[in-house]
A and B are shown apart, each in its own frame.
Chain A
């Protein structure tokens, strides 16, 4: 064996990981990094498709800050996010705790039942809720009519579009998040729970002081993913509201607004500015979550 052979092997061994990473790096660069960089350039241009472009500096961002429709979209998206996080996650946690209780029979069946809506897809859920909430003949309106006695065409749907979206997402994602909480609860150390019970802690005290600290990493992840997912809401309103913002733009979300500007009006520059505004918010939220989590783990 020559002296150069081990050297050659060492070089090969040190290059091998890069070789393995290369296909991913090429695809990531081509389909993620390049579009990301291109969208940043576009955010400073006014466009009519990618061919007709004019450099407009910060004009897109300035216009966005003054654009009342953009702020309507922001308000709707934030309300939806709050509705989703503040209703959906506690509900998912309650369901997970209920299914964790010792007396409950058929846990697997109920888990499957609650998780099932997450498997049907947004398009199905949107069509189903669209039919249920249909004016006059929709199930919900018929139900409301029998309870409230209001006329068949009482236009409550057009006033509460956001609630319709929140209800649809509750149905779809509560069970999905429940699975995460169930998995986290299954990993809570039994001896801690038993010790706190022996020390006379109430159920609420056990939950707050024993269970929550134990499931915090998973809960933090679920909250973060729910917030990001909610801020990126698109398919549900797109399908239920037939690619519009709904009556008086009450169902207009940030991504729907981005889509309308970029792909319907051809103004990719303005759409990119909307996208980068949202990306900035998402990055800040993710960073805040990391900082809070890091502080807690140090404490």
Chain B
């Protein structure tokens, strides 16, 4: 009988497999290392950039390899790299909330290269739409090139609205909106059709409305400003929409089959529509082509702001990648080629419906082209007309948490109204909203004050609270 020595046949098999795989691994050729890598999280961006990157690689250095990763993957790798020096890309395209997390520490610990002086020198701070810099700025410094503006309009079912003889041009304020749209709800059957797609649990919707109204959650100095007169007004009004006796809102969430089904079925008439959302609708609800139109957001008061902002992306250069001034120049040259090129701006609009933040390209005729999906309207021009009025946003790392706190306040207010605890009494609702905002402010402030790296924010928050309590609201 064949002797197998001290090991069993199974053990020999494992040893043999280990040896063979080790040899194969040693023989395998490592992939050629590119001169620079760029991460992006959106497939549409990757497809758009591909020809430009290929063209750049033909004539320039460094040769750039672009990789598409999921947003959570980029976010985790970005933070891991900033926190502990693990490898990351030389250029990173990152979404607004992920970037805010990089701003929680001391300013010198922000992992992206500070571009402020360079942008200033190149005149880009004037050339690019001002509000587009706000999510990428911390403590007065800019850490990324803005990709977009993302003004918000209201998308509405033109087929239903126009069949009912409603002229949306007469809608100037949210009061007008409620008055004009309410008959449409009744025509659709009680509880069967609602004027607006929004819900108390969707913080994104609430933020759009707060920013439009001129409110903030964290101000430019980093102070927590949840408890403000403007926010209270928005909170009460939204609770009217979701839980009042004359409710006009319905939960038809974006990116879900159920939400899309409700929109297609005409159960909901209007929805917040930032420029990027048009592309989402076209892909997810092609059957609505020729049935949807855009109108500016109704203002909170006559002559008020008719737009808001939702979402945002930037391109940043990690400090770890800019190993020398020459290397930084190379990477910056590529970044500005990609983000400041008119060709990309056109592609951005053509493929994603997104308008460029570069103001000098806004007179491009591409933005005047009619779009069949939107009944022949020119969405690009409509968004550009509103772009200059887009509100500033905070880049604070506390912003997401502050939004959670104020959303919780809204959820409670709505549920208390539904349960009858507030008896639809306007004064009681106002008082309760003020209490809930005060609570949310206190909770968020205690968190902000704990951060020893952002002590100026803590001081500013304390100042805001003192102002609120002394002045009885702002």
Q: Which residues of A contact B (CB under 8 A)?
A: 46, 48-52, 54, 56, 59, 63, 66-69, 134-138, 151, 153, 155, 158-159, 244-245, 247-249, 263-267, 270
Contacts and interface: CB of A to CB of B under 8 A. Distances in A.
28 contacts: A46-B450, A46-B451, A48-B453, A49-B79, A49-B83, A49-B105, A50-B84, A51-B83, A54-B452, A54-B453, A56-B452, A134-B256, A134-B258, A135-B253, A136-B258, A155-B251, A158-B411, A159-B415, A248-B411, A248-B415, A249-B408, A263-B76, A265-B101, A265-B401, A266-B79, A266-B83, A266-B105, A267-B104
B250 A153 contact: yes
Interface in B168-212: 191, 199-201
B443 A69 contact: yes
Nearest to B454: A48
A48 B109 contact: yes
Given A49-B82, A134-B258, A137-B257, A59 B450 contact: yes
B446 A67 contact: yes
A11 to B, nearest CB: 23
A159 B414 CA distance: 11
Given A51-B109, A54-B452, 19 more contacts: A46-B453, A48-B104, A50-B84, A67-B446, A134-B258, A136-B262, A151-B191, A155-B201, A158-B201, A159-B415, A247-B201, A248-B408, A248-B412, A248-B415, A265-B101, A265-B104, A265-B401, A266-B79, A266-B83
Nearest to B405: A69
Interface string B430-473: 00000000000001001100111100000000000000000000
B84 A137 contact: no
B453 A247 contact: no
Contacts of A49: 79, 82-84, 105, 109
Taking chain B's interface residues, is the majority helix, strand, or loop, or is none over half, making it mixed?
helix
Nearest to B111: A49
B258 A135 contact: yes
Given A67-B446, A137-B257, A52 B453 contact: yes
B61 interface: no
Interface in B343-373: none
B105 A137 contact: no
Interface size of B as a range: 35 or more
B254 to A, nearest CB: 13
Interface string B251-266: 1010011100110000
A266 B104 contact: yes
A135 B104 CA distance: 35
Contacts of B412: 248
Interface string B278-316: 000000000000000000000000000000000000000
A48 B411 contact: no
Nearest to A55: B452
Contacts of A267: 104, 451
Contacts of B408: 247-249
Contacts of A67: 446-447
B87 interface: no
A249 B407 CA distance: 10
Contact of B404 (A56, A158, A249): A249
A52 B105 contact: yes
A49 B397 CA distance: 14
A115 B174 CA distance: 55
A176 B397 CA distance: 42
Contacts of A54: 452-453
B450 A270 contact: yes
B106 interface: yes
Contacts of B404: 244-245, 249
B258 to A, nearest CB: 4
A56 B452 CA distance: 9
A56 B447 CA distance: 15
A244 to B, nearest CB: 7
A-B pairs with the 5 shortest C-beta distances?
A: A49-B83, A48-B105, A137-B258, A248-B411, A248-B408
Contacts of A66: 446
B393 to A, nearest CB: 19
Contacts of A137: 257-258, 261
Contacts of B446: 63, 66-67
A263 B80 CA distance: 9
A48 B106 contact: yes
A265 B201 contact: no
Contacts of B251: 135-136, 153, 155
A48 B397 CA distance: 11
Contacts of B199: 155
Contact of A264 (B101, B109, B257, B447): B101
Nearest to B443: A68
Interface string B80-92: 0011100000000
Contacts of A69: 443
Contacts of A245: 404
B101 A266 contact: yes
A266 B451 CA distance: 11
A46 B262 contact: no
B22 to A, nearest CB: 20
A266 B443 CA distance: 19
A122 B86 CA distance: 30
Contacts of B250: 153
Given A48-B109, A247-B411, A265 B397 contact: yes
A270 B104 CA distance: 14
Contacts of B397: 265
A159 B243 CA distance: 14
Choose among A136, A137, A244, A245 the residue with the greatest number of B CB atoms under 10 Å from its CB: A136
Interface string B58-73: 0000000000000000
A265 B444 CA distance: 14
A240 to B, nearest CB: 14
A63 B109 CA distance: 24
A66 B82 CA distance: 30
Contacts of A159: 415
A147 to B, nearest CB: 17
B100 to A, nearest CB: 10
